[in-house]
Amino acid sequence: MAIQTTTHLNFRGTARAALEFYQRVFGGDLVAITYADAGAVGDPAEADQVMWGQVAADNGFRVMAYDVPGRLLYAPGENPFFVSVRGDTVAEVTEYWSRLSEDATVVQPLGPAGWAPAYGMLRDRFGVVWVLDVRSE
């Protein structure tokens, strides 16, 4: 088993531009799934915004990003990132989830998602937001 932590940056409508910029700087492959791609459009104006994005390079650079939907609070500089933990199996991620969730506020319960066998988000007792998911091909 292996886990990987990745900085997960939060934007409001500029995630794709940021990911494209980071790809130009560091190289690598860019993947961006929109809210429309995931079937999760809450506001039609946000359908083409990034729900999940990543740049991963062979040199080890990796960053994730998304566009915070308008229904959620967003203040640049106050909640600019999440810590993302990606594991190989649901059992592995569930174990980390159960430990991290002690005295935490669950934002999105751990469960199946359109892009991963399991995904969840919580704010730990120290105020850090964690997103956990299972690597998918």
Angle at 68 (CA atoms; ends 116, 40), nearest 5 degrees: 50
For residue 53, what are its two tokens? 């994005």
Most distant CA pair in the chain, distance: 40
Helical ranges in 6-82 per DSSP H: 15-26
Lowest mean pLDDT among 10-14, 28-32, 52-56: 10-14
Pairing status of strand 116-123 against strand 50-56:
unpaired
> Average model confidence (pLDDT) for the chain?
90
Task: Residue 45: give the domain boundaries.
Answer: 4-134
- How do residues 81-108 score in pLDDT, each as one tens digit? 788 888 899 999 999 899 889 899 999 9
Write down the pLDDT at residue 109: 97
User: pLDDT category, 29, cuts 50, 70, 90?
Assistant: very high
Name which residue leads in pLDDT, 117 or 135.
117
Calculate ∠ Cα 123-127-131, nearest 5°. 35
Domain with residue 30: its CATH number is: 3.10.180.10
**How many domains does the chain fold into?**
1
